[in-house]
Structure 1
Amino acid sequence: MQTGHILFSFIFPIVLDGCCVGGHEKKLTATGLTGLQQDATHQHYRAVEGESFMMPCLKSVSGHITEVWSRTGGSESLSFDCGKVFPAEVEHSGKYRCLTGNRSLLSSGNELFLHLRVVEETSVGCFQPKESSLELLNGAGGDIPCPGRNCSNNTDVRWYKGNIPVSELSRDICEKNGLLRLCEVKGKYDTSVYFCDRPVMEQGVTWTFRRAVKVKVVPHKTISDPPRIAYPADNKTEEVELGRSHTLTCKVFFPYESKSSGEVHWYMNNGGNKDNMTLLEMKKPQQGSDILEEYWIVQDGFIDKVTPQHLEHTYTCIASNALGKCNVTIRLNQKQVKWASLVGSPIASLLLVVVVGVILHMKWLELQIIYRCHFLHGTHDRDEKRFDVFLSYVWSPTSAEIEGGWTRSSRSGPVTDEEACQFSMDPLNTEEDEATQTPLEVLLRQVLEEQWGYRLCLLERDILPGGAYTNDVVLAIQGSHMLICLLSADYLCNTDGVFVLESGVQALLQKSALKLLIIRTCRNSASIIQDPPLPPLVQRALKVLPSLNWTSDKPDRGSSRFWRSLRKAMPRSE
C-alpha cells in the first residue's frame, strides 16, 4: 500500500507536466492562493504604469465576493471594485482597505489591507511594451507568455482570466514554466485580458507582481480579399428634392486585418466623366464588426443643397484596402412631389384649413338657409300666429277672370293626408282642358284654403290699403308659419314680389320659426336674367331654398306628384 503511494507521488507530477496531449486538457494545478492568503491581513501588489490592472477578489466558501477597495490616507479619496480592469497610474499607489464583515475567510469584523505600488516603465528591467498585447489565430493553439518571464528565473506564475483563475476554467488549457498555453483558441471567448502574478521578495516582504496581457483573437494573419460594397448597387438612381440637402450612403465590408487599411470615399463625376472627379464633403465614417472574419465601414457623402446641376453629374463610392479596390456609381433624379405628401406637410395642412375656411365663409349664408329649412321645423301651434301660410304670387292676365268663376265649399280645418290627396285632384277632375288652362295661383289658393283648411294671408285681401306697405308685409310674414312664393318670370320682374321673397329670407335668417317654400311655375325661372338684377341675398337663397316644380302640361301624373309633395311640405299643427 505504501509502495503504491510512493509510485503515485512520482508519476503524478510527470503527468501534470504534459500539455494538450491528444487534444485533452492537462492542467497544472498551481499551489498557492487564488486571492489573499488565509493567514494574512496585509497584501502587497506591484503594477507597471500604463498597463491594465485589477484589484484581487476574495474567495470564500460560498464563492466569489465583490468588494470595494478604498484608499486610506492621502489627499484624495480613491476606490476600486475588485474584478474591474483599469489602467494603472503612479498616483494610484497607496494603502487600500476592504471591510469584509462576516463574509470573509477571516474572523467577523476584520479589516483587510492591500499595499499597491505602481512603478514606472523605466524601472522595470528589460521592459518590452509589445509583451502586453498579443494576437492569437482562431482555431489554432496559442501560447500566452507572462511579460518579463525571460528576465527572471522565477517560474512560479499564477494565471487569471479577468478575476477567474485559469485552473477553474473548463477548457483545454495548461500552464508550464510561466507560459499559458491554449490548446484551441476559440474566437471571442478567448479575447480578454489575462493576468499573470509572480511573487517577488523585497526586504523581507513578498510582493505580487501583476502583469497584464491583452489577447485578441484574429481569423488570419494576412489580408485575404479586396473590399466588397454592399450598398448602394451599381447604376442605382436615388431620388432627391431640389433645394434640400441629400446624404449619399456607402456600406463596405472588408476582410479582417490587424492594422486596418480600409478606406471609403465619395466622389462627384462632373458631367458624368469619371476622369474629372471631385471629392465630396463627407461625414465621419462609422465602423463595426458583426463576425470575426470581417468588419464594415459606413461612409456618408453630403450635398448641402441640391441644385439642377447636381442632376447632371454622377457619384462614385470607391473602397480600397491593401489588396485592392472596388467602386459603384449612382445618379440623382428629381423626386416627383405627390399631393399626398403635400397634405402631410404643416404648410399644406395650414393651406387646406385656410381654403376650407374661405369656402365656408363664402357659403355660410347658404349653409344657414339649408340648416333652418330642413332641421328647425316640426309641429306648430295654430294659436301662436295669425296665419298658417303667407301666399305670395303675381296675377297672370287670365287669373282674375278664372278666379272669379271658381267656387268651392270650405272645410273647417286641415284634413288628413289621404283626404288631401283626393281633394287635391278635384280641380283637375273637372275637365282636362279647363285644368290645364287654370293658373296655379287660382288652384293653389282654393286647395290650401277651401280644401285643406289652412289660414291664408293674401296681399290683395288681408293687407289693408293706405298703410305702410313694407311694414305690413314684414309683420304679415312674421305672423305666418309658412311663406310660399310662386316663382315665375313675372314674379321675378315684380318689385313687390321680390320684396316679399327677400323679406321672407331675412325673417328665416333671424331665427324666426318660419318655413319657406318656392314653387317654380317654369323650370328656367331661376335662370332668367332680370333687369334690374335680383338682390344678392335673393340670388343666393334661390340656389338652396326648398322648391317644387309645377308642370301644367302633364295634369295626370305630374300634378298628382306635385300636390302630394306640397301636402308633405305644409306645416303640421299639434
Structure 2
Amino acid sequence: MNLSFLIALVSNNGNYTCVVTYPENGRTFHLTRTQTVKVVGSPKDALPPQIYSPNDFVVYEKEPGEELLIPCKVHFTFLKDSRNEVWWTIDGKKPDDTTFDITVNESVSLSKIEDETRTQLLSIKKVTAEDLKRNYVCHARNAKGEVDKSAKVKQKAPRYTVELACGFGATVLLVVILIVVYHVYWLEMVLFYRAHFGTDETILDGKEYDIYVSYARNAEEEEFVLLTLRGVLENEFGYKLCIFDRDSLPGGIVTDETLSFIQKSRRLLVVLSPNYVLQGTQALLELKAGLENMASRGNINVILVQYKAVKEMKVKELKRAKTVLTVIKWKGEKSKYPQGRFWKQLQVAMPVKKSSRWSRSGEQGLSYSSLKNV
C-alpha cells in the first residue's frame, strides 16, 4: 500500500504512521512504522542568493563618532545539500583580517518550505572619518552561484553646511516671493507709499487746477469725461478738474484761454480715441501745448488715457507722445470695477494731494455706487 500526494502542500507536513494488524494463535498483533513528511521548495525553483540589503536605495550617512550598523540580508531558496554562505569584506578583506574594531553578528530564519534568510549585521561602535570612506561589500554564495553588493556609506554634511544651504535657499525663496509680490502688487505698493509718505505736490506750486482734460468734443468721449472721469476724480477723490467747455468764460480767445488753463494745471489728461485724432485745432492745440510745456519747463505731466484704440497715428505729436509715455487703457465695463487696474494706474499718475480723498481711496478702493451710476 502506498500513500501518494498529487500536489504537495505545506499543510501535508507531519508524521505519518503505517499500522499493520494481524492475528496469530488467538491473539491480535499490531505493527507500526512512522515516517516524517516535510514539504520543501522544488529544485526547479532554486535560484542564486538574493541580496535584500544593502541596496541602491539606502545610504548609510553618519557623522564621525556615531555607531554604524549595516545589515547584509540574503535570501536562499531551498536547495538540497547546498551550503549557504554569507560574509562581509571591507576594502577587500574579511573583518577578521582587519585591524579596526568591527563586530559581525549573524541570524538565520527559515520559511515553511525551508527557504533560508541569513542576516549578518556589521557594527562599528564609533565610526571614524576613515571608516566612512571604506568599501563595505556583502557577499553570498550557494550551489547556484555567488553574488555581492556594496553598501553606500558616506559622511554627513557638517551642520553649518546644511544651515548655510537652508539659509541660502530661504533667501532665494524670499527674493522670488518679493519679486512676484512686487510684480503683482506694485500699483498697490506705490499707492500705499504715496498715501503715507508722499510729498504734497500742491503746496506753493502756484497751480489752480489738478488736471486739464483734453478730449474730443460732441462725441461719445465727452459723455465719458463729463460723467465717469469728472464724477470719480472730483466727487470721489477731491481733485479739481479743468474742462474747457465748462470752465472757460464766454467771449474769450480760445487759444489764449487754452494755454492759460494748461499752465495753471498740474496734469494734462488726454483721452485718446479715433475722434480725437480727427478733431480740429482745439484738441491738438491742447496736446501740443502740454507736450511743449512738459519738455521745456517740466512743470506739467501728460497722462494718456486710451478710451478707444487708434489704428493710424498720423498726428506726429500724438505719435511721439505714445512712444515715450505710458498709455492707460479704458476697457469698458471691466474698468468700472473699483479695484480695477485702470483706476489704480490713473491714481499713480495723478498728483499727490494730502488734503484730497485720493489717499484714502488708495487703501479702501473706489465707491462702486459712484461708478455704477455713471
TM-score range (shorter-chain normalised) is 0.3 to 0.5
TM-score, normalised to structure 1's length? 0.28
Query: Which structure shows the bigger proportion of residues in helix conformation?
Result: 2
For the pair shown, the structure with the greater C-alpha radius of gyration is 1
